[in-house]
């Protein structure tokens, strides 16, 4: 494993068991709203195949599955119309947490129950054939990837023509004045919270630093176009703390 991938693997192995709790604590639950917004943009359908890369403990995969099941129920689709969701992640311990959560999922409509599969591997070299998926998602993952351009190229490769790409990621605050407040919170509070809640200051120091180093909105759009995506756009969330980038493989 390359140096950054190995470091990131160490970080997420260390935080896996406290990851879900820390997300709620650090963001005061706001990450749930951002993720719900992402699912609204996707509008998952039960007949589609989804790939959630850097899927971690499965937040996005389960939300896609739930929405697809509801859509099948609403449209009274034939029984056994099921979405396929593949979760791919570099860190086995994150996937183990996700698989445990999958066992505890409520399944209100078993006749439409989503099929989940779990793949341990890297976004930069997906062990998956070309043109397989209707939708590729990566949520709070791309900035952790050692070679993001390679990951975008891979996203394009595995999408079917007509397939859609969605990236939810921390981004650049665009509200004047708010950036200073956000910096103060990020650098002073988050590492301390990491120490208190997860007993791991260093991993959360990495988190805030990685956010500052990652491509800003326009730069990420350019990288997506370079990978081949068309109709590229982004929507800022919470003043640009996070953003959803979308594009199509046409
Ligand atoms: C912050 S978590 C995001 C988890 C989940 N998508 C969410 O939104 O809650 C980042 C995840 O990216 C994974 N990751 C980092 N580098 C990766 C790579 N090169 N390929 C695939 N997954 C990677 C980590 O193991 C970790 O589970």
pLDDT (tens digit, 9 = 90+) per residue, 45-66?
Answer: 999 999 999 999 999 999 999 9
Q: Any idea where the domains of the chain sit in the sequence?
A: 3-249
pTM of the model: 0.95
C-alpha of residue 118 to centroid of ligand 1, in Å: 13
Domain 3-249 has CATH 3.40.50.150: yes
C-alpha of residue 176 to centroid of ligand 1, in Å: 30
pLDDT in tens, 6-33: 989 998 898 888 888 888 888 889 999 9
> Is pLDDT above 70 for 179?
yes
Question: Is the CB of 60 inside a 6 Å radius of any atom of ligand 1?
Answer: yes
Question: Is the CB of 214 inside a 6 Å radius of any atom of ligand 1?
Answer: no
pLDDT band with cut points at 50, 70 and 90 for residue 98 = very high
How far apart CA 27 and CA 20 sit, in angstroms, is: 11
Q: What percent of the chain has pLDDT over 90?
A: 76
Do residues 241 and 167 lie in contact, with contact meaning Cβ atoms separated by under 8 Å? no
* Residue 74 token pair: 């609403």
Residues 6 or more apart in contact with residue 50 via CB below 8 angstroms: 44, 61, 64, 83, 84, 85, 86, 133, 134, 135, 136, 137
pLDDT band with cut points at 50, 70 and 90 for residue 40 = very high
C-alpha of residue 141 to centroid of ligand 1, in Å: 4
Ligand 1: which residue has its CA nearest to atom 10? 141
Per-residue model confidence (pLDDT) at position 249: 98
pLDDT band with cut points at 50, 70 and 90 for residue 1 = low
Question: Is the CB of 167 inside a 6 Å radius of any atom of ligand 1?
Answer: no
What is the atom index within ligand 1 of the atom nearest the CA of 146? Answer: 19
What is the atom index within ligand 1 of the atom nearest the CA of 9? Answer: 25
Question: Is the CB of 22 inside a 6 Å radius of any atom of ligand 1?
Answer: no
> Is pLDDT above 90 for 193?
no
pLDDT band with cut points at 50, 70 and 90 for residue 176 = confident
Question: How much is the mean pLDDT over the chain?
Answer: 94
How far apart CA 149 and CA 214 sit, in angstroms, is: 12
Question: Is the CB of 44 inside a 6 Å radius of any atom of ligand 1?
Answer: no
Give which of 166, 142, 161 is closest to 244, Cα–Cα: 166
């Amino acid at each position: 494993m390359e140096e950054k991938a190995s470091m990131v693997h160490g970080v997420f192995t260390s935080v896996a068991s406290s990851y879900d709790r820390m997300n709620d604590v650090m963001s005061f639950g706001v990450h749930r709203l951002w993720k719900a917004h992402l699912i609204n943009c996707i509008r998952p359908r039960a007949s589609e195949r989804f790939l959630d890369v850097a899927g971690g403990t499965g937040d996005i995969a389960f939300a896609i599955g739930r929405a697809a099941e509801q859509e099948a129920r609403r449209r009274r689709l034939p029984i056994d119309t099921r979405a396929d969701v593949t979760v791919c992640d570099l860190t086995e311990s994150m996937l183990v947490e996700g698989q445990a959560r999958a066992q505890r999922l409520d399944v209100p409509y078993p006749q439409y129950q989503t099929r989940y599969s779990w793949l341990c591997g890297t976004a930069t070299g997906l062990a998956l054939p070309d043109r397989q998926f209707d939708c590729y998602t990566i949520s709070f993952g791309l900035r952790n990837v050692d070679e993001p351009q390679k990951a975008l190229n891979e996203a394009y490769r595995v999408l079917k023509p007509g397939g859609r790409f969605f990236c939810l990621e921390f981004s650049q605050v665009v509200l004047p004045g708010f950036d200073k407040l956000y910096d103060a919170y990020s650098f002073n509070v988050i590492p301390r919270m990491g120490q208190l809640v997860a007993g791991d200051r260093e991993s959360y120091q990495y988190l805030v630093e990685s956010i500052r180093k990652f491509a800003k909105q326009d730069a990420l759009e350019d990288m997506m176009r370079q990978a081949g995506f068309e109709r590229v756009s982004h929507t800022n969330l919470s003043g640009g703390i996070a953003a959803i980038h979308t594009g199509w493989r046409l």
